[in-house]
Structure 1
Amino acid sequence: MNLSTIDIRVLTADEWEVFRRVRLRTLTDSPQFFGSTLAEAQARTERDWRAALADRTQFLASADGVELGTVAGMIDPERGGVHLISMWVAPEARGTGVADLLVRAVLDWAAAGGHTTVWLEFAEGNVVAERLYLRNGFVRTGVTGFVRPGDPRVEYEMVHKL
C-alpha cells in the first residue's frame, strides 16, 4: 500500500452513516479492545451518531474509496488536553503505516489547537497498539483502570507531551 495515496480527513456530522459503518466494522473485528459493544452501537440512532461526531474530531483514513481506519480526538477541558480514542485500522491495512498516519493526525490537530498533552488508554494484551503508541512518542503513566464499569478487562493509560 502506498502511503502517499492515503487520504486522512475529518468526518462531518452529515457523514454519520460512514462513521456508523466504520464503527460497526471496528466492533465486529476487534470487540476485545473497546469499551462499547456492537449491540450498543447497533442500537444507536441517527441522532446519536450525529451527536457523537459533534463531540469529537473523528478522522478517517481511506484510499480509492475504501475505508482503512479511524481515530478520534476529544478535547477534555476538565483534564486539559486531548483524549485520543476509538483507534482502529482495517485488517487489510495493518502494518502499512496507516495507524501512524492516524495517530499523527490527532497529534497535529491537538498541537494546532494549542494543546500540550494527548493521552489514551489501550486494553491489556493489545501489544500491537502499545508498540504503535510508543513509536509515536507516548509513554505509560502508571495509571490503570477497567475498560468499562463491571468489566474485568484492564486498560493502561499513556501520555504524549507535545
Structure 2
Amino acid sequence: MNISTIDIRLLTADEWAVFRRVRLRALADTPQFFGSTLAEAQARTEQDWRAALLDRAQFVATADGAELGTVAGLPEPERGGVHLISMWVAPEARGTGVSDLLVRAVIDWAAAGGHTVIRLEVADGNPVAERLYIRNGFVRTGVSGPIRPGDPRLEYEMVHNL
C-alpha cells in the first residue's frame, strides 16, 4: 500500500453509515483497547450515529474505496483543548503510516481551531499505540485510570501541547 494513495477525510453527519461500519469493525477487531463495547455500538440508532458526528471531527482513512482507519477529535471546552478518541487502523493497513496520517489530521484540525492542547488515553498493554502517540509529540501525564467504570484494565493519559 502506497501512503500517497491514502485519503484522510472528515465525515459529515450524512456519512453516519460509514462511521458505524468502521466503528463496528474496530470494536470487533480490538475490543480490549476501547471503552465501549461492540454490543453497545450495535444498539445505537441512526440518530445516535448522526448526533455523534455533530459533536466531533471524525476522520476516516480510505484507499481504493476501502476504509482503513478512523480517529476523532472531540472538543473539550470544560478542560480546554481537544480529546483524541476512537483511534483504529485496519489490520491490513497497520505499519503503512495510516495511523500517523490520522493522528496528524486531528493535530492539524485542533491547531486550525485555535486549540492549544490535545489529550488522549492509551490502554495499558498497547505499546504500538503508545509509540505512535510519542512519535507524534504526545507524552504521558502521570494520570491513569480504568478504561471504563468497574473495568480492571488501565489506560494512561497522554498530552500534546500545540
1:56-88 CA deviation, whole Å, 9 max, x = no partner? 110000001100000000010000000000000
In 1, Cα distance between equivalents of 2:114 and 2:94? 31
In 2, Cα distance between equivalents of 1:121 and 1:108? 19
* 5+ residue gaps, structure 1: none
Q: CA deviation at 1:55?
A: 1.2
Q: How many residue pairs align between the two structures? A: 162
Corresponding position of 1:106: 106
* 5+ residue gaps, structure 2: none
Alignment of structure 1 residues 2-151 onto 2, 5 Å? 2-151=2-151
Paired residue secondary structure (1:115): coil
Q: CA deviation at 1:97?
A: 0.2
Paired residue secondary structure (1:87): strand
In 2, Cα distance between equivalents of 1:74 and 1:24? 19
1:76-134 CA deviation, whole Å, 9 max, x = no partner? 00000000000000000000000000000000000000111001001100010000000
Moved over 6 A (4+): none
Q: What is the TM-score with the length of structure 1 in the denominator?
A: 0.99
In 2, Cα distance between equivalents of 1:39 and 1:136? 32
RMSD: 0.4
In 2, Cα distance between equivalents of 1:139 and 1:118? 11
Paired residue secondary structure (1:143): strand
